Each structure stands twice: as C-alpha cells, then as structure tokens.
Amino acid sequence: MKHLILIGFMGSGKSTLGLRLAKCLHLQYVDTDRYIEEKERTSIQEIFDTKGETFFRNLETEVLKELLQSDKKMIVSLGGGTPLREENQRLIKESDSFCVYLKMGIEEAYNRLKKDTKRPLLKTENPKKTIEELLTIRNPLYEETADYILDEEGKNVAMVLEELIEIEEKQNENFSN
C-alpha cells in the first residue's frame, strides 16, 4: 500500500485524525488544504475570493498528483471537495493507496460546523440546508471513492483513531503476505 488517504465532508475530522494517526504510526502527514495555503501563501478563503473555486479545484488536482507520486508513505487528508472531480477519483483509485471515508450524518455535520467561519462554501443564508444538499450529493461519491467506509456515528476521536490504526495494520499485513 502506498499512502493512507482520508476523505470526507468538512468537519469529519480528517485533519485532526490524520495528524494523530501519522504521529502514532511515525509517518509523514500532509493536509492538502494546508499544503495549498503554504504553496500559495494565502488562505483557502482568499483563494476562493480572489481567484475563484475552479482555480482552487485545479490546485487540488495538481497537489493530489504531486503527493500520489511521492514514494515516501504518508497519511494524507484531502479537502472535502477533492473526491468530487472524476479525475481525482481516478487518481486515488489508481495510486495503490488505501482510501478511508470518514462518514457522518447531516445533524452531526451541522453541529460540528455551525460556528465555523473558515469554509467559503458554508457562507450561505442557510448553512444547514447547504450542508444537507452538499452531503446528499457527495455521500455516494465519497462511498464510491473509498476502500473503507468508517462510520463515525456514536464514536469519539479515540475510537475512530483506534479503528484507523487497525485498518492500517491490516493493510500492512495484507501487503506483506
């Protein structure tokens, strides 16, 4: 297995869990949103505002390609919208990486995101409705892209982390057999 990739909706814990997982496994960690911000020397919000969403989406694909080419095994958290582009889905599937979807329901997503100010896509009149609409469209795409669907319902961070460690160990066993 190449990298372990975390996908899921905004607020699903990709960054928090990715970082913790990488620490536990002594692997390098990359969060594509932060990577893009470093590369562009500005925030995602600023990129959306000044250059538009398509420009940002093109950057996502570029960064994804770059990371998937790296031989050094990493834990990678992708932005919530990355798996929506067919090209990105294909890149993930063909990369020999293992992709985990951190799945949560609409209510949970809303509770986690209601005080958020950093996500440009949620700056709407009715963020709950936006979350519901986006998640309904995206859920099947996340499921289609993932090798493993990790349902976060009723689980705390420690439980999800443990499940991720088990996944990684199992993948390594399969790989070495």
Residue numbers at the binding site for ligand S3P (CB under 6 A): 10, 14, 33, 44, 79-81, 119-121
Cross-strand bridge partners of residue 101: 7, 149
Nearer CB in complex with ligand S3P: 44/99: 44
Output the smallest distance, CB 100 to ligand S3P, in A: 14
CA distances from 159 to 12, 21, 127 (A): 14, 12, 28
Q: Closest distance between ligand S3P and the C-beta of residue 114, in Å? A: 14
- We find the least distance from the C-beta atom of residue 94 to ligand S3P, in angstroms, to be 22
Distance, in Å, from the CA atom of 61 to the CA atom of 76, rounded to the nearest integer, reads 14
CB closer to ligand S3P out of 46 and 166: 46
Minimum gap (Å) between residue 176 Cβ and ligand S3P: 32
User: Which tokens in the block code for residue 37?
Assistant: 């911000």
Nearer of residues 14 and 20 to ligand S3P, judged by Cβ: 14
**Is 2 strand, coil or helix?**
coil
Residue that has been written with the tokens 């499921």 in this structure: 143
C-beta closer to ligand S3P: residue 40 or 171: 40
Smallest gap from Cβ 79 to ligand S3P, in A, equals: 3
What's the rounded Cα separation, in Å, for the pair 103 and 168? 18
* Radius of gyration of the chain measured on its C-alpha atoms: 16
Of the pair 68, 131, the CB lying nearest ligand S3P is at: 131
Which residue, among 58, 37, 47, 142, has the nearest Cα to 100 in the 3D structure? 142
Paired strand residues for 150: 102
Q: How far apart are CA 23 and CA 120, in angstroms?
A: 29
